Structure 1
Amino acid sequence: MKNKTPTTFYEKKQNTGFILSLCLLVFIFFINSASASSVKQLKRQQIDEILFNIHAYYVDDLELQNSMHIKYNNHQFERLYSKLDPYSKYLDEHELTALFDNTNGRYTGLGIEVKNIDEQMTIIDVVNNSPAKNAGILPNDIIISINNHTVATLTIDQVAALIRDSKFASIHLTVQRNTNKTHILFDVTRTQIDLESVTSQLLDTGTGYLAINSFSNHTLHEVAIQVAAMQNHYGYPLKGLVIDLRDNPGGTLKSAVAVSDLFLQSGTIVTTKGRFFDANQAFYAKHGDVLKGAPIVVLINENSASAAEILAAALKDNNRAKIVGSQSFGKGSVQSLIPLGDGNTALKLTTAKYFTPSGKSIDGVGITPDVAINQTNLSQNNKAVIIKNEQTKGTQQLLSSNLADLQLVKAKQLLSMQ
């Protein structure tokens, strides 16, 4: 059972509004701690609002029945706040703005995903058509300094803040590549980046490959367009489809439900349960399958989380797809965004747990694949190279083990047998 979230930050940040629910793995935020220092500076009115919302909406009863009659001091409040799950936190104005931007598939930044690996700030993915990509930054580059500030002793949050809060649009990055001790210098300008949540490739024998990288407001539209484009290329409906959800950290509940509905004729997609009335909902598929029953294989790994797990479980439990890969992350909770004060800040609060069509909670457990195959994680760029079976600039950085995507090979084999 997983009891902590990965220490990663993704400049891609997902978001939602109150009532609109969020199914998101924490690691894609710049801020991934429920005990953010900003809580220490909250005013009495903000504390009272947060206490009220925890009492009214939080998924677990923290015995706050008398909180309306108790004046909490800051120390008591911080102790209570620390009892919330890792996915619940106060968002300041900057965090909230970033959240809203990304729900529409865009954000301002460099276009890098960074993870602390062996105490080194390692770039594990670079977004296509981003300033970092255009500058020549590659996955596996290690960040040495940002604007001449050494990052060796910094946390993920501090590294992210150096990029986000710089008063200069141009960020000076010093990186180390491979085992070379020679440093490479980059000047990368922060810009608004439009994110593609979906990419696709044609496979063989009339089948297709669809990688869903996140679930934003645009994902349903992008999936529909990509599937239609593949079918138009062949001139007939797809004979099978691989849906790649590996390293997909989640997104909005609404998007996950809508994409699931594309491939289902009927059946339950997901149910949610919480303490207040509107947290208890059931979502059902409407008639109409875009693939008209053609077989589906879904790829998952340990970083497939939340909304990605909703889609995988919906297709698996309705006997619509086979699941290949490794055990998924296991985030079975739904967050809602509750505005505070004048709406410039908010509380991101876990308000419900979700359950698969078979009635199971995958929280802390994850989805078990039908065919278990463990392998090294693949970035979205690496996936494209493997699918196209071609060598492109930068592929020399890939490990040879990454070039054999055993999970995709198995998925194609399963499609050919149906």
Structure 2
Amino acid sequence: MKNNNVIPAFKKAGYAFSLLLFTFTLVLNNAFASSVKNLKSQQIDEILFNIHAYYVDDLDLQNSHYVQYNNKQFERLYSKLDPYSKYLNEHELDALFDNTNGQYTGLGIEVKKVDTDIKIVNVVNNSPAKEAGILAGDIIVSVNQKTVNLLSVSEVATLIKENKFTTINLTVKRNESPEVLSFNVARTQIQLESVNSKVLESGIGYLAINSFSNHTLHEVALQIAAMQNNYDYPLLGLVIDLRDNPGGTLKSAIAVSDLFLESGTIVTTKGRYFDANQAFYAKRGDILKGVPIVVLINENSASAAEILAGALKDNNRAKVVGSQSFGKGSVQSLIPLGDGNTALKLTTAKYFTPSGESIDGVGIKPDVTINQTTLPQNNKAVIIKNEQVKNNQHQLVNSLADLQLVKAKQLLSMQ
């Protein structure tokens, strides 16, 4: 029997989605974008229909084909949606597809607003920014000679993304030097590394998952196989580092969780329409055959990362160490609009851990709480590098002050 509640299939760039659920925590401002203000009445009608049919909460829209919304009324309604629901224009939609495929076109920098400064907090490996010599900690002064200190992060991103030139000139301040440095950086397509690993001392594996893309399951399986082959013996334990992992796709989080579970519930989702209510279960087969696991999380571990941490914790498969996670417990569906070049990313469900808890706004509570300064993604490579030169545990603590990793290794050594 045909189910009329299923969200329409989405086909673009070789992808086919019938119920595509996203759990990205990429910060998307829910303020009225210019693209929303300029929508035509037919597009507004489509968006209203989908909100009425699929949005996780009943907003009492008084929506029918006989009610006409003007733009101001529509904008007021749009403002009631949660921060993860957003109309995506063609460029934003392409960027989202790139992210789910583990790639994006850009310079390879992550930035945040610190007081009035636009600060680079991470430089992606194998990116044009990395090759040009830009460093984490640099403060962006200007983009193509336009001063940015009065701009928001999204405005700076737009300035870089929508520039007609493929090469961008960045001037930055470094450390306390009064002089500025100038870099010409070309926008290119960057392949993101979602997983890296290393065998630590005593046969403990270290697996850093930086995001959940369409390739993460494959990368995790390859990295674990490589660690076991390089060690020549079965691993004695595994640390899964999910710190600063912003999430990714629900499908990827479920698949990676299933790798480590013999049975049990992975996650359940609940919403207003029929197909938003689902339960996902582990299939037989644990890739580590019961080897003990410790998961590291922090306040920036979100969404798909929280699904994995919650699944392993609630099924008593892993201990969780660190600080309480972000608390992004909602699921987004990608709904095509018009000719398929635009879409509505809409929150259609809340997800619940195997114990039945919603972590939305709360987060995953670690078994062992150790609060420490956020460990940036690029520092995870330092962990691996230090292990390669065979630093002992005390040297690792002194150089990285990574008490969470030290505690994880202590717990694994006791099992």
TM-score by length of 2: 0.92
Structure 1 residue aligned with 2:194: 197
2:101 corresponds to which letter in structure 1?
N
In structure 1, list runs of 5 or more residues that go unmatched.
1-14, 393-399
1:362 to 339, 359, 364: 359
Give the deviation of 1:58 after TM superposition: 0.1
**Match of residue 231, structure 1, among 211, 223, 228:** 228
Q: Using the alignment, how far apart are the partners of 2:301 and 2:116 within structure 1?
A: 24
Mean Cα deviation higher: 95-104 or 288-297: 95-104
What is the alpha-carbon distance in structure 1 between the residues aligned to residue 63 and residue 130 of structure 2?
Answer: 54
Are 2:122 and 1:122 equivalent residues in the alignment? no
Letter aligned with residue 19 of structure 1:
L
Alpha-carbon distance in 2 for matches of 1:359, 1:224 = 28
C-alpha distance in 1 between matches for 2:243 and 2:342: 32
Contact 1:36–1:89 (8 Å) recurs in 2:
no
SS of the equivalent of 2:60 reads coil
Structure 2 segments unaligned to the other structure (5+ residues)? 1-14, 390-396
> In structure 2, what residue type is equivalent to 1:142?
I
Instruction: After superposition, give the CA deviation of every residue in 1:228-287 in whole Å (9 maximum; x if it has no partner).
Output: 000011122211000000000100000000000000000000000000011000000000
How many angstroms apart in 1 are the aligned matches of 2:16 and 2:120?
A: 27
Q: Does 1:171 align with 2:168?
A: yes
How much identity, in percent, do the aligned residues show?
76
Q: Which residue of 2 aligns with 1:9?
A: none
- What's 2:145 paired with? 148
Q: Cα offset for 1:380?
A: 2.1
Cα shift at 1:351:
0.2
AA matched with 1:272:
T
Deviation for aligned residue 1:389 = 2.0
SS in 2 for 1:46: helix
Deviation at 1:67, TM superposition (A): 3.3
Which residue number in structure 2 is paired with residue 12 of structure 1?
A: none
- The CA deviation at 1:391 is 11
In the alignment, what sits opposite 1:25? Answer: 25
How far apart, in 1, do the equivalents of 2:60 and 2:265 lie? Answer: 33
Superposed structure 1 runs of 4+ greater than 4 Å apart: 15-18
Query: Which residue of 2 is the match for residue 90 of structure 1?
Result: 87
CA distance in structure 1 between the partners assigned to 2:330 and 2:205 by the alignment? 31
Are 2:156 and 1:159 aligned? yes
Distance in 1 between residues matched to 2:16 and 2:208, nearest whole Å: 22
Query: 1-side partners of 2:54 and 2:245: how far apart?
Result: 27
- Provide the residue aligned with 2:10 in structure 1: none
The answer to whether the Cα contact below 8 Å between 2:52 and 2:63 also exists between their aligned partners in 1 is no
Offset of 1:18 from its aligned partner? 5.3
1:256 aligns with 2:256: no
Aligned residue pairs total 394
Q: State how 1:1-400 maps to structure 2 within 5 Å.
A: 17=17, 19-27=19-27, 31-389=28-386
Does structure 1 retain, via aligned residues, the 8 Å contact 2:197–2:223?
A: yes
Give the TM-score of the pair, scaled to structure 1.
0.92
The 1:34–1:270 alpha-carbon spacing in structure 2 relative to 1, beyond 3 Å, is: farther
Q: Deviations over 1:156-183 (max 9, x none)?
A: 1110011101111111000011121211
What letter matches 2:228 in structure 1? Q
For the 8 Å contact 1:215–1:252, the answer to whether it is kept is yes
